[in-house]
A and B are shown apart, each in its own frame.
Chain A
Amino acid sequence: MDRRDFLRAAGSGALAAILQAVAGGWAKAAEAGFAGLPFARDPLPGACLLPLGDVQATLAAMLDTVVPGPATDPEGTAGALEACSMNILLDGSFPFRQYADLFAMALDGIAAEAHGGTFVELAYPQRLDVLMTAQEQLPMLRLAFKAVRSAFFGGAYNGVGLRYVGYPGPNLGWRHVPEASFRVAVCRERTDTGWMP
C-alpha cells in the first residue's frame, strides 16, 4: 500500500467511523430520552469554540473552505466557523473528536501530494481543490460537507447563516402578505378532486 492508498483508506475509515458515530450519537440521544442530547447548547453570539492546535487548525481550515468566513471571503461576512460549526467537531459530548487526527491527516496527505504543503498552508483555491479531490476519493465526505452547510444555512447553532441569506425565521404567518400567494388559479387542473382516479 503506498502513502496515497494509506491516506485514502485512513480517510475513508475515519469518515465512516465519524459518520457512524454521529448517527450513533443521534440514536443515543433518542434512547437517553432527550436529556443527554449530544449537541452543544445554543451558544450566545461570539461563543463559538476556537481552534487550538494543529489538527483543529486543519479542521477549521476545512470549515472555512466549505463555507468561507471573513478570513477568506473578501466581503468579510460570516462563514461556517462563525456559525459555530467547530462546536460539532470539538464538543466533548459529540463523538467526532477521536477521529479528528485521522481526518486532518487525510487532508494533509492530499494537500502535500497535489500542492506540496499542508492543508492550512494552502491558499483558498487549492484548499477547495483538495476538498473536491477528497470527496471524489471518499464519497461519504459529501455528507460531512452537507452537514457543515446545513449547520450554517440552517441556523443549527446560531443565526448568522440565516441572517446572511435574509431568511426571516419565526413569524406569525405570511398569509396576509400580498406576495405570499397568487391567490387565483394559475394553471389548468387535471382532476376535480386533487388526486387521480
Chain B
Amino acid sequence: METLDDIIVGSGFGGAIPALRLARTGRSILCLEQGERLTEKDFVQDWGFKAQSRLFVTYTSKDYHVLLRYGRGIGGGSLTYAAAMLRSPSEVFTWRDRDGYRVWPASVTRQAMDPYYAMVEQEMDVVRASWADVPRAGGILAKMLDRMGLTADRSMYPIHDCLQCGFCMCGCPFGRKKHLGMNYIPRAEAAGAEFRARCRVHHLEPDGGGWKVAYFDPWNVQRYARAQRVILAAGALETPGILLRSRPWIPDLHPQVGRNLNQNGDVAFLWRVPDDLAPTYPFMGRNNAGVITYAFWDEHRITIHPGAGPPALVAAMDVFSEKGEPAHPMGLSFKHYVRDHYATHLFPSLAIGLVDGEGTVTVDGNGVVQFDLPLTDRLKAYIDRVAGVGRQIAEANGAELLRTAGDNYEHGDAHPLATCRIGDDADRAPCTPDGELRGQSGVFVTDGASIPGGTGVNPAHTIAANAERIAAVLAGTNVASRPSARA
C-alpha cells in the first residue's frame, strides 16, 4: 500500500495551502482530488448544464428549498469562484451564538489571523480593484449608497488586468483570475507534493498509529493509501460526508460532525433600478461586481455586494415584486419582464451576515451526502432584517427590491460552512482550535467545514487564512505530541 507522511483530501483553499506548507518541510504529500486538472484552455464561456456540471457539484436540501454547490477540480472552488478575497471584520471572531457560545476559539482573533491573511494575499497576489475595474452594476449600487450618504468600498481580488468579460464563474478563460492552480498548487508540486486528479475519497480507517484512506481511482477501482496524518479539505458538504461514511471504522466519531451547517447568512435578491440609473448591463464585468458595503455592518452585522451575471442568475431567482409586476416568477408576465428589464434595469446582489448555523449534513444509506437547512425563526428574523435594509436602499433611490416571500427565500448557493467546526468547547466543536478532530488523533480539518460560523463577507479568504494558520501548526508539530486531540 502506498504510504505517505500526509494525505490531503480536496485541493481547494483548505487543501492546496497545507500541501504547499507541508511539502516545503520535506514531508511526502499526496492530495486526492475528485475533479479534473483544468486550465484556461478548459474554461469556456458557457452557462449551459453540460459545461456547468463539469465544473460544479450541486446538492438539493431534503425539502428542496435550497441548492448548494461547490466547484471541483484541482484548485477546488478557486477555479470558478467570483474571487472576492476579503478579510473578515474583527466582530466575526468574537461572535456568540444563541446560547452565548463564542463560536471562534478565544485564541483565534482577527489580530491573530492577520499574518495568515497577509500570507494568502502575497501568494495569490490579491489586489484592490480600481474604480475602472468596478463593473457598472457595482457602480450603480455604490451610487445608490452615495445618494444616501453611505459608503461602499472597492473589494480585493487575485485578478489582474481583467477584461471584464463576465464569466469568472465559468473559470477565467483569459488567465486573469489567479486561481490556486496558478500559485499554491504549482509551488507545492515544485516542493514535491503530488496532486492526483479524479480520485474520490470514500472513507477513512484507523491503521496502527496512522490512517488508511479509501478512495476510488479514475477507473473507479477502490484503492487505499496510508499516512501518518490525514487532512480533510473536501469542503463543508463532503468533509463531514467522508467522516460520516467512516463511522463503521470510527464508531466514536464526534457527534457534532455534520451539525451547525451555516450558509454564511447569504440572501440573494434583485434590484430594479429607475431610469436615471439605467442601464445596468449586468453581463458586463467580473461576477463579483467590484464593491462591498459595510454601511450596515455596525447595526445589523450585514454586508452587501452586487453581482454581475447571466440572465439565468437573474431569472432563476424566485422573486416577485412587492409593487405589482412580476407578481410571480413564471408565465407570460415574468417572461416579458425579464426580457424588458434584464439588460437595462436589473442586477443581482447578495447579502451576507452573521446568523447561527442550524443546518445539518448527513449521509444516506448509499453514503450520498444530504443536507437540511431549516427556516428557523432566527433565520426568518435575519432574512427580514436583510429585506428591511434592501428596502431602505431601494426606497431612497426610487428603485425596487425584488425578493422572495415567506418560507421560500433565496439563499445564496455558494458558501456552506461550519459542519466540522473548530472551537474551544469539546462538546460543541468537533475540532480543536488547531483543526484536529477530537478523539481521532492525526485527522485534521482545514476547509470551510472547520470555519465555525459565518464570516460576514465572502468566506474564501478566511478559509484560506485559517488553512495557513493550521498548516503552520502542522508544519512544526509532531502528531504524537498532541494530547489535545485525545481529549
Contacts and interface: CB of A to CB of B under 8 A. Distances in A.
Contacts of A175: 162-164
B3 interface: no
B1 interface: no
A186 B142 contact: yes
A126 B164 CA distance: 44
A11 interface: no
Interface string A149-162: 11111111100011
B338 A154 contact: no
Interface string A25-49: 0110111011001010010000000
Contact of A31 (B162, B216, B332): B216
A1 interface: no
Contacts of B246: none
A17 to B, nearest CB: 11
Interface residues of B, number: 90
B133 A181 contact: yes
A52 interface: no
A31 B331 contact: no
B329 A172 contact: no
A67 interface: yes
A59 B358 CA distance: 37
Nearest to B50: A39
Contacts of B339: 164-166
B164 A195 contact: no
Given A19-B60, A185-B131, A155 B316 contact: no
Contacts of B335: 67-68, 73, 79, 164
Nearest to B90: A197
A190 B285 CA distance: 23
Interface stretch (A2-10, A101-109, A111-119, A140-148): A140-148
Contacts of A139: 63-65, 407-408
Given A31-B220, A180-B284, A171 B368 contact: no
Interface of A: 15-16, 19-20, 22-24, 26-27, 29-31, 33-34, 37, 39, 42, 65-68, 72-73, 75, 79, 124, 128, 131-132, 139-140, 142-143, 145-146, 149-157, 161-162, 164-175, 177, 179-191, 193-197
Interface of B: 34, 36, 44-50, 53-54, 57-60, 63-65, 67, 72, 86-90, 110, 128, 131-136, 139, 142-143, 145-146, 150-156, 162-167, 174, 198, 200, 216, 218, 220, 279, 281, 283-285, 291-292, 294-295, 297, 310-312, 314-316, 318, 328-332, 334-336, 338-339, 342-343, 368, 407-408, 457
12 contacts: A30-B72, A37-B50, A140-B65, A143-B65, A149-B312, A154-B316, A157-B48, A165-B315, A167-B343, A173-B164, A179-B136, A193-B156
